[in-house]
Every structure is written in C-alpha cells, then in structure tokens.
Amino acid sequence: MKLYLSSDGLGATPKDLKDLAGEGQAAIVVNAVDWRAVEERSQRFEQEQAMLRELGYDGLELDLRKHSGAESIRQFLTDKKLVWVRGGNSFLLIQRMRQSGFDQAIKQLLDKDEITYGGYSAGAMVAGTSLRGFEHADDPSLASEVHWDGLGLIDYAVIPHWESGEWAEQTRRVKQVMDQHGVKHRVLRDGEVIIVR
C-alpha cells in the first residue's frame, strides 16, 4: 500500500511522491469542493492539474459524482499511477467516496499495489480511521449524509494544518475531541507529509 498524505498541497517533499508513484497518469479528485460555484470548482481542478504537471503527471479529473459502483471507479483508475485527492470539506468528500464506490475500489487497488493514493488536507483526513472532531474544522451540513468513519487506509486519524495560521484553534479542538473519544491520531504541520510504502 502506497500513500502520500500531506497537510497542505504537495508538502515539502514532492520528489518523494514521484518516487513513490512512478511515471504515468494521475486521476485528480476535487469533490471536496463540490459545494463551490462551478467556475471556482473548475479553477481548483486546474490548480491541481498544473501542480501535478510540474512533477510530470498528466492529470485527468475523476469526478466521483459520475460513477456508481466500485467497478466503474476501478476501470477509470486502471491505467493511472496516482490518484490525487485535494482538500476541501471532509464530510462531503467521504460521502462522495462512499456513494461512488471509491472507498471499496481504492482499497482493492492499494492492496494490489496498483496505484498510489495521495492527497492533502481533507484528502489526508478521509484516509484515516475517523472524522470525529473535524466538525470543528469542516461543516458537516454540506453533506446530505454524515459519515464519521474514514477510509481506514491507516490505523489512525490525521489532523492536518496543526498550529498553522487560521487553522490553529480549530485543529486544537479537533485533537481535544479525538483525545476525549480515544481516537488514535497524528498531527501534521503544513509542509509535513506521511509516506507509507
């Protein structure tokens, strides 16, 4: 299982992502910002696409709203080396992942080492075990169905943006809730990355 989980953007070690995923195409998931205006959402995708292009990846959008079932997701990801999941609202993102079958497909592909999962902020948050506490950082009401469990790709929760500017107070509250509920977790400052090989 290959994971590259960043607090913000590519983090301080983008070369490590390239080494981990290898050469090829990338699928970009921007569903964490589905609540934004269409034009703004498109800009977010283009930003991610440009960022990955600098690493040599040809990025195509994987819009989870257009898929229904793990097989559809697997087919889209068949020839991709990397799936890159940008930040936004973690509750909306995990809902889209469960509705589309992405949650099942990505675990199967990762177990076979057929793809690398990379992402930052909400993209890193949903990779963990729990979203408990993140209601202090993200608005759960943006999702029509609230899920508190993450994908469980790792056996702990990830708290990004730790003590980082405007997020400092929210992330402290998130950690407090996780401590109260006994949720194993790891904090990430902006620039820091968790790499699983």
Task: Show me where the domains of the chain are located.
Answer: 2-196
pLDDT band at residue 65, thresholds of 50, 70 and 90? very high
Burial tier of 114 (Cβ tally within 10 Å: 0-12, 13-18, 19+):
middle
* pLDDT score of 165: 86
Task: Please give the structure tokens belonging to residue 51.
Answer: 């960022």
pLDDT at 166 over 90: no
pLDDT at 131 over 90: yes
Contacts of 108 (CB under 8 A, 6+ apart): 70, 74
* pLDDT score of 95: 98
Return d(Cα 52, Cα 62) in angstroms, integer: 14
Return d(Cα 70, Cα 9) in angstroms, integer: 27
Summary mean pLDDT of the chain:
97
CATH 3.40.50.880, applies to 2-196: yes
Q: Most distant CA pair in the chain: distance in Å?
A: 43
As a whole-number percent, the residues of the chain with pLDDT over 70 amount to: 100
Quick check: 188 and 124 in contact, CB under 8 A? yes
Mean pLDDT of 152-181: 96
pLDDT at 127 over 90: yes
Query: What confidence tens digit (pLDDT) does each residue in 135-144 have?
Result: 999 999 999 9
Query: What confidence tens digit (pLDDT) does each residue in 3-53 have?
Result: 999 999 999 999 999 999 999 999 999 999 999 999 999 999 999 999 999
As a whole-number percent, the residues of the chain with pLDDT over 90 amount to: 98
* pLDDT score of 154: 98
pLDDT band at residue 71, thresholds of 50, 70 and 90? very high
Quick check: 2 and 116 in contact, CB under 8 A? yes
pLDDT band at residue 159, thresholds of 50, 70 and 90? very high
Contacts of 141 (CB under 8 A, 6+ apart): none
End-to-end CA distance of the chain: 6
pLDDT at 157 over 90: yes
pLDDT band at residue 63, thresholds of 50, 70 and 90? very high
Return d(Cα 139, Cα 117) in angstroms, integer: 24
